[in-house]
Amino acid sequence: MKKLNIALAILVSAVMAGNAATATSGIVGYSKISAPSGTVAIVPGFVKAAKFTGTATVTGQSFGVSGFSVGVLNPSAHSDGRPNYPTHYIEITSGTYEGFLFDILSNSGTSVTAANIPSAINGQTVSVVIRSHITLDDIASTSMAEYSDAVNLINPDGSASTRYYAAGSWVAEDYSTAAGHTVIYPGQAVLLSSGGVTITTTGVVKTTKTAVPLYAAAVNYVGPLSPSNDTGVNKLQIASSMVPYSDGFNQFASDGFMTTTGTFYSDGTDILDAGYNPLPPTATDSIKINTGFALSVQSDGYWIMPSPLDR
């Protein structure tokens, strides 16, 4: 049986913010993923370095921040004019909504306008970070086969979008439309089908929670942001996000065949095994680093994933 072998190097350094006048520091590193022939669920374990960290006041659908050139965060801010995916997001980093992120639609010199900001935080001042999105180009590899190796991304309605590797980037189902800027959201898994490839990912270890959307209409391929270690099933902190004795998830072998190696449920507080027995604290069931699992839920919601530093 082939295994998914992942080697990791982590470097600690100071990361200077890009366009804003704010600086931050983080744990920066890279991770090498050796994927076998077949299909595996891949989760990039890093996020991009912060371009802004600080506080922002929420007014309607906007966050008050400064230090950016007008329009630099817009989805249309591509040299080749590809406006169909967001390029950046703003994320709340403390309080009740810690880990919730919002795609940035546009920016002025003093604010960013984002999508789907909850009315409950209107008028509040919150801690935030702005980052570029991880995209399919961040997992492209010269070891991939042109117009053959591909990824599937599962959409909220249960449909799948397929992207094919081509010329160092990716194209859509028509084999021609540029799609390397397709977003991989934090905690989202993509289903990589290949003849066997090596991928190197780089970035910053996330130090805050992450709100991962879960959709009732889809099988949710998700996984922990953890670029240095496997994550024990008991450490996912996902039980409270699942309907007791109903919602469930499957764990897979990294063999290229998506072989189910474990099925888990919840009693609302603890994770249960396939026989609805609570997993003991000493259970060794785990999700391999940079890989995902398949979760089915009865209603839309969120998995509030802990930082890899808090597991």
In this predicted structure, the answer to whether residue 4 has a pLDDT above a threshold of 90 is no
Would you state the pLDDT for residue 34?
85
Task: Please report, for the chain, the start and end positions of each structural domain, with discontinuous segments joined by +.
Answer: 50-132, 210-310
pLDDT tier at 2 (50, 70, 90 boundaries)? very low
Would you state the pLDDT for residue 80?
66
Model pLDDT for residues 130-158, shown as the tens digit of each residue: 999 999 999 999 999 999 999 999 999 99
Would you state the pLDDT for residue 81?
64
Model pLDDT for residues 100-117, shown as the tens digit of each residue: 999 999 999 999 999 999
Would you state the pLDDT for residue 79?
63
- pLDDT above 90 as % of the chain: 83
Mean residue pLDDT across the chain:
90
Model pLDDT for residues 242-268, shown as the tens digit of each residue: 999 999 999 999 899 999 999 999 999
Q: Stretch 3-26: mean pLDDT, rounded? A: 37
- pLDDT above 70 as % of the chain: 90
Model pLDDT for residues 216-244, shown as the tens digit of each residue: 999 999 999 988 889 999 999 999 999 99
Convert the chain into a string of H (helix), E (strand) and C (coil): CCCCEEEEEEEEEEECCCCCCCCEEEEEEEEEEEECCEEEEECCCCECCEEEEEEEEEECCEEECCCCCCCCCCCCCCCCCCCCCCCEEEEECCCCCCCCEEEEEEECCCEEEECCCCHHHCCCEEEEEEEECEEHHHHCCCCCCCCCCEEEEECCCCCEEEEEEECCEEECCCCCCECCCCEECCCECEEEEECCEEEEEEEECCCCCEEEEECCCCCEEECCCCCCCCEEHHHCCCHHHCCCCCCEEEEECCCCECCEEEEEEECCCCEECCCCCECCCCCCCEECCCECEEEECCCCEEEEECCHHHC
pLDDT tier at 23 (50, 70, 90 boundaries)? very low
pLDDT tier at 66 (50, 70, 90 boundaries)? very high
Would you state the pLDDT for residue 5?
35
Would you state the pLDDT for residue 134?
97
Model pLDDT for residues 167-202, shown as the tens digit of each residue: 999 999 999 999 999 999 999 999 999 999 999 999
Q: Stretch 8-19: mean pLDDT, rounded? A: 31
Q: Stretch 66-88: mean pLDDT, rounded? A: 85
